[in-house]
Structure 1
Amino acid sequence: MPNPSGRPVYHPAGHDEQLRAVLQDLKAGRWVSTRNLLDSTPDWGLWTQRTQILAAAVAGSDVIKAWQAEEPHSAAASVLHTRVLVERTLRAHRAGHRHTNELWREAAAACGSAIDAFPEDPVPWVCLLALAQLDKGQRWDEHRVPAPEPMLFPGPWHLLAEADKRDPGNREAYHRMLQFAYTRRPGGPLTEAVNFAHWASGSAYAGSALHVLPLYVRVERYRKDGGAEHALDLHWIGEDATRSALRALHLWFEHALPAATSLLDLSHLAHALWGAHQFQDATRVFEALDPFYTVAPWTYRTRSPGDADAAAEAFMQARTRCLSAARDPG
C-alpha cells in the first residue's frame, strides 16, 4: 500500500522501466538503446505508447535526425521522425506560431512516407488523426467522412479505421478522435464527444483502455463548467458517473498490465472512483499508480489549473482519503 504522506512523482514512462532507462539515454543524444527497445517491443499498442512518449521527450532536439543519418532504413527511426514532426506541429499550433502550416505540410508528408514504407504500422495513421484537429471547419474532404453510426459526427473516420485495422482499439487513435470531436464545437456542448466515447467504449473488448474514455469526457465537462469553482460538487457522485467509473474498473483495470498501462488512464480512474465515493476501489487504483501521478485530472480540482504542485496536493488529499477509508471502512 502506498505511503499516504509520500509525495508522488511524475514520469512520462511510468511503470515502463525499460522506457525510463531509454529516455535518459535519448535525451543525452544516445539512440542505440532506443533502437534496441523498439526492435523488441512486442505489440502495436505498446509500440504506439512508447513512440509517442519518446518523440515528445526529444521534439526539441535533432537526435532522431542523427539516428536516421546513421540508419536511413530503420523503421523505428522513421516512425520517431514522423512523431517528432507531428509533435512540433501540434506545439506550434497551440502557440499560434506563424509557421504552423509549413510544419503541418511537412508532418503530413512524413506520415504518407511512413505509411508507404511500413504499411502494417498503425502509428502513421494515428499521427494523421492527430493532425486532423488542425483542420478548423473541416475544410478537407478526408476530415468530414460520414460516421459509422447516425448519432456520431462526420470526421476522419477512415483514418481511425486504418489505425483500428492494424491495432484494434488503439488507445491513442481513439483519444485523437476524441480531441477532434472537441475541436468541432469549441466552447459548445460536449454531446458529440459524449456519444463518441460511449460508442467506442460500448464495443470495446475486456482489458481495452477505451473503457476509460467516458471518464475523460466527464473531466472535460467538469473543467468547462468551472471545476473547483463549484460550491457544491455533485458532478461525480451521480448514478451515471458511478456506473462509468465502475465499468472502467471492471472491464479495463482488472485486466490491464501495469507496464503497458497509461498513467493518465489510471489517474482518471482513481479520480472518478474517489469522486464517486468508491474509496475501496479507488485505493486499488492508487496502489497501481504508486509512486506516480499525473497533473490531469487533479489540476481541475484546484484553483490553479496547470500548477503541477497544486495538482500533486489534490492527488495526495484524495489518496489519503481513500487509504483511510480502506483501513477503516466503518
Structure 2
Amino acid sequence: MAPDRRLMARDGARPSYDPAGPDRALRAALQDLRTGRWMAMRTLLADTADRWQWTQRTQVLAAAAAGSDVVRAWLAEEPDSAHALVMHARVAVERALRAQRERHLRTHELWIEAWDAAQAATRAAPHDAVPWVCLVALAQLDPEQRWEEHRAVAPEPLLPPGPWGLLAEAHKRDPFNREAHHRMLQFLYARRGTGRLAEAAGYAQWAAGQAPAGSALHVLPLYVRVERYRRESGHDAALDLHWVAEEAAREARRALHSWFEHTHRGERSLLDLNHVAHALWGSLQFPDAARVFDAIGPYVTPTPWMYRAPGRDRAVEVFLQARDRCRAARS
C-alpha cells in the first residue's frame, strides 16, 4: 500500500477537533485538569524542554483551565513555583480576553489582574518568553494605545507604533515565537483608526520576511488573508476569487516551501497546517494541498473552514470535500 493510502486509511472517514492534536501527553494532562486535578499538568510542564512546545502547551492548558480554579489551587500549594506562576498569568490573560469579547463589566479589572500576574511571571521565569507573550496579548485590550508600552516606535518605518518592546523581549527569549507574532496581529486588528487590515498585512509580510526557513511566521500572511475574507466576503464565489488571485497563490506556495517542507510533524501547529491546506486548495494547487492534508491526519480545526460554511459540522464537511478533491487530483 502506498504511503498516502496508509495515511488515508488511518485518517478515518471523519476528522475530529482536538485542541491537543497528536500531542498525547498534553491530552492526558487536559483530561486530568478537567476533573480539577493539577498534578499531571505540573508533571507535563516539568518535562517540556522545547520552547515551541512549552508555548503551545501552556496556551492550550490555560484555555482549558480558565473556567476553574485549578491553577489557583496549584499556586496555593506551590507559591514559589515558576511554572505555576506562568500558568497563573496564562489563565488570567485568557480570562481578560474572554471578558473583552463578551463585553463583561469586569474586563478592565481582569485586565489589570492579568497584567500584574504576567509581570510577576516575568520575574519568576526571567528566561521564559511566555510571560512576555502574555503582555503582548493584553495589548489588544488597549486599542487606543493609552499605555506607553503599547505605542513604541516600530523597527520598520512603514509599520505602526505598538507593543514592539514587549515583542522584542519575547524574541530575546524565543526568537520568532509563533504565538507572540499572532498576538501582535490581534493587536493590529483591534487598533483604532483606519487601515488596520492593511497594517496587519504589511506586518505579516515583514515578519515572514525576517523569519528563517522552517519558521511558522511564513504562514502569517495566510491568516491575514482569511481575516480579510471573514470581514469582507458575502458569498462563496467571492471567497473562491479571493484565493485564486496570484498573490494568494504565491503566499500559499511560500508557506509550503519555507515552512512546511522544513519542519517535521511533531513541531507543526495543527492550526497552521489547516490554514496552509486551505490556501493551497483554494488556489487550486491540489497535489501540494494533498501533502498537507496527509500531515494533518485525523484532526481538523474549525477555522478557516468555518468561513466557507458557518458552524463546526458544516466546516468539517468543507474540510472533507477539500481533502477528497485534492487527493483525487493527486491520484
Q: Distance in 1 between matches of 2:67 and 2:193?
A: 29
The alpha-carbon distance between structure 1 residues 64 and 57, as it changes in their structure 2 partners (threshold 3 A), is: same
**In structure 2, which of residues 78, 88, 102 is the aligned counterpart of residue 81 of structure 1?**
88
Structure 2 counterpart of 1:289: 296
| Displacement after TM superposition at 1:240 (Å) | 1.1
**In structure 1, which of residues 49, 53, 57 is the aligned counterpart of residue 56 of structure 2?**
49
The alpha-carbon distance between structure 1 residues 289 and 228, as it changes in their structure 2 partners (threshold 3 A), is: farther
1:38-117 aligned at under 5 Å gives the runs 38-117=45-124
Matched, 1:198 2:202: no
Structure 2: 5+ residue stretches without partners? 1-6
Q: What is the RMSD computed on CA atoms of the aligned residues?
A: 1.5
Matched, 1:13 2:17: no
Q: Which deviations, in whole Å up to 9, do the C-alpha atoms of 1:207-240 show, x marking residues without a partner?
A: 1000000000111111122153545721111221
Structure 2 counterpart of 1:2: 8
The answer to whether the 8 A contact 1:132-1:180 is kept is yes
Q: Distance in 1 between matches of 2:227 and 2:164?
A: 22
Structure 2 counterpart of 1:325: 329
The answer to whether the 8 A contact 2:121-2:131 is kept is yes
Q: Distance in 2 between matches of 1:283 and 1:230?
A: 22
| Displacement after TM superposition at 1:28 (Å) | 1.3
| Displacement after TM superposition at 1:30 (Å) | 2.0
| Displacement after TM superposition at 1:185 (Å) | 4.7
* Greater mean alpha carbon deviation, residues 251-260 or residues 17-26: 251-260
The answer to whether the 8 A contact 1:228-1:300 is kept is no
Matched, 1:134 2:141: yes
Structure 2 counterpart of 1:311: 315
- 3-state SS, counterpart of residue 190 of structure 1: helix
Q: Distance in 2 between matches of 1:56 and 1:258?
A: 23
Q: Distance in 1 between matches of 2:315 and 2:192?
A: 28
Q: Which deviations, in whole Å up to 9, do the C-alpha atoms of 1:276-304 show, x marking residues without a partner?
A: 111111011111111000000001111x3
The alpha-carbon distance between structure 1 residues 169 and 91, as it changes in their structure 2 partners (threshold 3 A), is: same
Paired letter, 1:140: W
Q: Which deviations, in whole Å up to 9, do the C-alpha atoms of 1:110-168 show, x marking residues without a partner?
A: 11111111111111110011110010211111111110001101000000000001000
**In structure 1, which of residues 94, 110, 124 is the aligned counterpart of residue 131 of structure 2?**
124
Q: Which has the higher helix share?
A: 2
State the identity as a percent. Answer: 62
Which stretches of structure 1, 4 residues or longer, exceed 6 Å deviation after superposition? none
Q: Distance in 2 between matches of 1:242 and 1:139?
A: 39
1:129-278 aligned at under 5 Å gives the runs 129-185=136-192, 188=195, 190-226=197-233, 228-230=235-237, 233-278=240-285
| Displacement after TM superposition at 1:259 (Å) | 2.4
The answer to whether the 8 A contact 2:188-2:196 is kept is no
The answer to whether the 8 A contact 1:89-1:103 is kept is yes
Q: Distance in 2 between matches of 1:76 and 1:195?
A: 35
The alpha-carbon distance between structure 1 residues 241 and 10, as it changes in their structure 2 partners (threshold 3 A), is: same
Which is bigger in relative contact order (C-alpha 8 A, separation at least 6)?
1
**In structure 1, which of residues 10, 32, 35 is the aligned counterpart of residue 39 of structure 2?**
32
Q: Distance in 1 between matches of 2:22 and 2:220?
A: 21
Q: Distance in 1 between matches of 2:22 and 2:32?
A: 17
Paired letter, 1:312: V
The answer to whether the 8 A contact 1:227-1:301 is kept is no
Structure 1: 5+ residue stretches without partners? none
The answer to whether the 8 A contact 1:5-1:316 is kept is no
Q: Which deviations, in whole Å up to 9, do the C-alpha atoms of 1:80-124 show, x marking residues without a partner?
A: 111111100000000000011111111100111111111111111
| Displacement after TM superposition at 1:2 (Å) | 2.2
Q: Distance in 2 between matches of 1:71 and 1:278?
A: 52
| Displacement after TM superposition at 1:260 (Å) | 2.6
Q: Distance in 2 between matches of 1:267 and 1:321?
A: 15
> TM-score if structure 2 supplies the norm length?
0.94
Paired letter, 1:179: Q
